[in-house]
Amino acid sequence: MNIRLSSIVLALGIAVVFVAGSCTRSYICHCNIAYSGTPGLPDTTFKEYNITDTKSNAQSQCKAESGTYDNNYIHTVDSCYLY
């Protein structure tokens, strides 16, 4: 009976690790960066980087990179999304 209980606990532990590990993936956060306000600024550019986490956490981290900034008459808009 003790061996059977150990086998069940071991199998359950392996299943938990497998399920928990499968929820984490690598996602790409893509950010479009648009500039305006002064002549001669670059066209819209972009940056991409990897986020390894659950989808909801990765999406939150990526969206947090979005924003609007003003610095010395240069207006910058970062629009980030996960894919």
Q: What is the pLDDT of residues 28-80, one digit of tens each?
A: 999 999 999 989 998 899 999 999 999 999 999 999 999 999 999 999 999 99
pLDDT band at 83 (very low <50, low <70, confident <90, very high): confident
Distances (CA, A) of 33 to 2, 6, 39, 68: 61, 55, 16, 10
Q: Is 16 part of any domain?
A: no
Contact of 32 with 81, CB cutoff 8 Å: no
Query: What domain count does the chain have?
Result: 1
Q: Is 2 part of any domain?
A: no
Residue range(s) defining the domain that contains residue 70: 25-82
Q: Is 19 part of any domain?
A: no
Q: What is the pTM of this model?
A: 0.68
Q: Is 77 part of any domain?
A: yes
Q: Is 12 part of any domain?
A: no
Q: Is 74 part of any domain?
A: yes
63's tokens: 């969206």
